[in-house]
């Protein structure tokens, strides 16, 4: 069970994993660096491509997988929690 503060982060990670197959189908890679390069070089003279990129950039939240250590302590969960506290609360 996740604490309520971790639900949004878990949903975002599930979404990224769910879309990784589609990214791989289109780009032959699902690495975030490759996806971001593809977004940067996309043909934005096409309105459908521009609209798609605008939607993605308005809604994109990337969370790296892994850990961030400060000495022996993994502080990544604390960073996620602090970031969630900064988000506007849904009323």
- Express each pLDDT in 15-40 by its tens digit: 777 778 887 887 888 777 787 788 78
* CA atoms in the 13 A half-sphere facing the CB of 73: 5
Q: Is 70 left (phi over 0), alpha (psi -120 to 50) or beta?
A: beta
> In the prediction, which pLDDT does 45 show?
92
Query: Can you tell me the mean pLDDT for 44-50?
Result: 90
- What digits encode the pLDDT tens for the residues 49-67? 888 888 777 665 555 556 7
The region of weakest confidence among 6-10, 47-51, 71-75, 78-82 is 6-10
């Amino acid at each position: 069970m996740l604490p309520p503060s971790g639900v949004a982060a878990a949903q975002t990670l599930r979404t990224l994993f769910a879309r990784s197959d589609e990214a791989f189908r289109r780009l032959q890679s699902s690495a975030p660096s490759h996806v971001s390069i593809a977004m940067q070089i996309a043909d934005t003279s096409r309105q459908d491509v521009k609209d798609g990129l605008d939607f993605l950039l308005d809604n994109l939240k990337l969370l790296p997988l892994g850990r961030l250590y400060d000495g022996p302590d993994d502080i990544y969960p604390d960073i996620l929690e602090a970031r969630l506290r900064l988000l506007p609360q849904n009323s």
